[in-house]
């Protein structure tokens, strides 16, 4: 376990949450996202909301409870295959905007290490509704049983790193926990997508 001094923790919070860029990213469909510089990485600070791949092809995505109002606030939910835009290449663009990509498991680890390690990073990622890496918890969707769950309780994010042919690595942060869980799940689940600048 990595322990940080109070000074280090304060410095991390200042770096993390006062470094929100005044710039924003507007995707090809007109959706606007905050941009957040964390250490050497530049992250999209809102969940992806696109409904078309970079080539203009429609993609399968879901609004929580099939309600477009949830989609506007929490972003869309995507399967791993859709998030990857059918690629199997680690670090591919996937369905992210030009100049951005679906972060790898290693890049997520770089983020959580910078924010104090997996045991503390979840706490550092949270902010109020106007700042922070996570300002809403988008839950998930399991298409096989058409079940939505954990809105406002859990945030699930895909990585572009597969674990097996049918599963991939994710990060999971709970609204009431301080850790950033790293685990594998079936690729057919639908989770939020965050993009990382190339």
- Enumerate residues 6+ apart whose C-beta is below 8 A from 83: 94, 95, 102, 158, 160, 191, 193
pLDDT score, position 22: 47
pLDDT at 17 over 80: no
Residue of 116, 83, 95, 65 lying closest to 185 (CA atoms): 83
pLDDT score, position 135: 85
Residue of 109, 75, 79 lying closest to 94 (CA atoms): 79
pLDDT at 91 over 60: yes
CB-CB contact of 73 with 155 (8 Å) = no
Summarize the confidence of residues 137-151 as an average pLDDT: 96
Whole-number Å distance between alpha carbons of 178 and 67: 29
pLDDT at 16 over 70: no
In a 10 Å sphere around its CB, with 0-12 CB exposed, 13-18 middle and 19+ buried, how is residue 184 labelled? middle
pLDDT at 113 over 90: yes
- Say what the pTM is: 0.88
């Amino acid at each position: 376990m990595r322990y940080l001094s109070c000074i280090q923790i304060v410095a991390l919070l200042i770096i993390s949450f006062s470094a929100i860029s005044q710039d924003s990213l507007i995707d090809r469909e007109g959706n606007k996202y905050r941009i957040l510089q964390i250490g050497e990485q530049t992250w999209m600070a809102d969940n992806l909301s696109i409904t078309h791949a970079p080539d203009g092809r429609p993609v399968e995505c879901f609004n929580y409870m099939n309600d477009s109002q949830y989609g506007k606030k929490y972003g869309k939910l995507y399967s791993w295959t859709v998030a990857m835009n059918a690629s199997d290449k680690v670090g591919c663009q996937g369905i992210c905007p030009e100049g951005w990509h679906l972060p790898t498991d290693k890049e997520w680890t770089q983020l959580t290490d910078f924010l104090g390690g997996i045991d503390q990073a979840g706490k550092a990622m949270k902010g109020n509704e106007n700042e922070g890496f996570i300002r809403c918890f988008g839950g998930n969707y399991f298409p096989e049983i058409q079940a939505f769950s954990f809105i406002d309780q859990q945030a699930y994010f895909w990585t572009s790193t597969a674990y097996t042919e049918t599963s991939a690595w994710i990060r999971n942060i709970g609204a009431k926990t301080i850790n950033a869980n790293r685990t594998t799940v079936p690729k057919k689940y639908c989770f939020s997508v965050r993009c990382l600048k190339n």
